[in-house]
Structure 1
Amino acid sequence: MESMTLTRKEMSSLLLSLQGNHEQSPLTILQTAWSKNHQQACQKGASLPAFLTTEMRPVIEKVIQGIQFNGFSLQEIADLGSLIEYSNVSITSIQNWVKRDFKELFVIKEGRKYSINQAALLFIIDDLKSNLDFLSIRRLFHTLFFGREKDITEFIEPVQFYYAYSTMFEELDANNDQMFDIVGHTSTANSQDTLLDNMVKAYADRVAQSMTGISKAQQKGVSNILVISALSVQTSYLQAVAKRYYNATVFLDFD
């Protein structure tokens, strides 16, 4: 069976839609994502057999059935995370994060499930950990989601931020090769790293400036965190490729 795969932008769109904050329905987002990955089968009129060989997690089956979500269980969040391309989300890591490493962010009332924003936070943690330790991630979260006020009034929703940097990454990777599309690099022009830095930061500045309800100073911090997050997505891809080659080397036993 083939597993369904979603990009981060598709996953963040799905979360926004489940929250009621996206122009497309959850089912439409899933249909579009699946069709994109099965273009040949759809063109040949073989969409039914292709769909029947696609593994659907129980949480996705609920979305297909139109079931309303008031929240997610940890297993449902792990199942959603497993659909994200080049992601390392697992139920074990999620349990560690909510019960130990980031427990102050995941307080829920007895009997209630985790919110859509808390699910987005877990996916953001998974991305950021490719470049940062947990202490650094907590500091970024304090700046990004709670500002400097002691009442920790939330001014940017995690799911909105997840969508922002996921969209940013995809638009800077127009050819979908999981690498930023850098132009202008020649032997006499700016170096590759300078071009990358300038391109990503300029885009992040525009996104941050478009956000309402935050100050100019906060926009600067948000812009920097957008850069970190988008770069972390690319890092996740590189780590996944390296891990695949490691597994192939061990499994195939070239000795």
Structure 2
Amino acid sequence: MESFTLTRVEMSSLLLSLTGTSGHTPLHILQEAWTKLHQREMREGSSLNAFLSTNIPVILQKIIKGGKAKGLSLQEIAALGALIEYSTISITAMQNWVKRDFKEYLGAPLEGKKYSINQAAMLFMIEDLKSSLDFRSINRLFRMLFLKPERDDDDLLVPVQLYGAYALLFEENRDSAELQQDKPWGRERLAQAAETAVNRLSHLNRPQRETVRNSLLVAAVSVQACYFQTLAKQYFNASLFLDF
């Protein structure tokens, strides 16, 4: 069966929809994501067969039925992370992150026994950033962006919004190459796009906007690294499988 895959922009929208603050329901986000990949079937009137051929994981079935959710368990976050393109996140890795490597920010679930939506976004961010940075560097980046771990109201940009912002940078760059048959953005164009994004953050002063801008660039390039790592593994697996 076909796997249900989400881009990072779609995942950030899904996370926001779970909080009930985005104006869209989780079902709407998932419908939009699925429809985008099945436009031909929709035009031909064969959407039912296409949907029946799609594997809808348990976590999505739960979200479709339940709607809003203040928090998620690590197992649920791992299940969602497995749907993100170019991601290899695992429950074992996340357990290590919350218990040891990023205990300062993730050691204590903020929604009872479950992790908050922003904590889930931070876990997805770690998965992306580790393709380019070591854990010590990621922790330093988090301290610049999210300041005091015990407070949420001092964040320069809340994690789920930051996740969506750098995801959009990456996907706009990718779409520029794929849809317009143009070269991927160079350093200057990517920096300009990040600058445009942070200029909308009127609540931040200039040094804070520069911190967010640089973080967006680091994260967007890290996702690009995830893409190339996934592509390399696909070619390697193809070489092994087709060696007969």
Aligned partner of 1:238 among 219, 223, 228 = 228
Return the offset for 1:111. 5.0
**Residue identity matched to 1:43:** R
Cα deviation 1:94-115 (Å, max 9, x = unaligned): 1111112111111126952011
**Residue identity matched to 2:217:** V
Alpha-carbon contact 2:3-2:55 (below 8 Å) kept: yes
Cα deviation 1:55-109 (Å, max 9, x = unaligned): 1122211221134312111111011111111111111111111112111111126
**Residue identity matched to 2:135:** F
Return the offset for 1:53. 1.7
1:48 aligns to what SS in structure 2?
helix
Cα deviation 1:182-221 (Å, max 9, x = unaligned): 47xxxxxxxxxxx711111111111112113221111111
RMSD: 2.5
* Larger Rg over CA atoms: 1
Q: Which residue of 2 aligns with 1:228?
A: 218
1:21 aligns to what SS in structure 2?
coil
- Indicate whether 1:206 and 2:207 are aligned: no
- Indicate whether 1:76 and 2:66 are aligned: no
| Counterpart-to-counterpart distance in 1, 2:78 and 2:227 | 19
> 5+ unaligned residues in a row in structure 1: which ranges?
184-194
Q: Which residue of 2 aligns with 1:155?
A: 156
- Indicate whether 1:86 and 2:107 are aligned: no
Q: State which drifts further: 127-136 or 209-218.
A: 209-218
| Counterpart-to-counterpart distance in 1, 2:237 and 2:211 | 38
Return the offset for 1:176. 6.5
2:109 aligns to what SS in structure 1?
coil
> 5+ unaligned residues in a row in structure 2: which ranges?
none
Cα deviation 1:140-167 (Å, max 9, x = unaligned): 11111117x9978333210010111111
Q: Counterparts in 2 of 1:8-47, with a 5 A limit?
A: 8-47=8-47
Alpha-carbon contact 1:179-1:234 (below 8 Å) kept: no
Alpha-carbon contact 1:178-1:237 (below 8 Å) kept: no
Cα deviation 1:99-138 (Å, max 9, x = unaligned): 1211111112695201100100011111111111111111
- Indicate whether 1:248 and 2:238 are aligned: yes
| Counterpart-to-counterpart distance in 1, 2:181 and 2:151 | 38
| Counterpart-to-counterpart distance in 1, 2:97 and 2:63 | 26
TM-score (norm 1): 0.87
**Residue identity matched to 2:208:** Q
| Counterpart-to-counterpart distance in 2, 1:157 and 1:113 | 18
TM-score (norm 2): 0.90
| % identity of equivalent residues | 50
Q: 1:165 to 1:18 in 2, by over 3 A?
A: same
| Counterpart-to-counterpart distance in 2, 1:99 and 1:146 | 20
| Counterpart-to-counterpart distance in 2, 1:178 and 1:225 | 26
**Residue identity matched to 1:27:** L
Q: Which residue of 2 aligns with 1:190?
A: none
Q: State which drifts further: 53-62 or 150-159.
A: 150-159
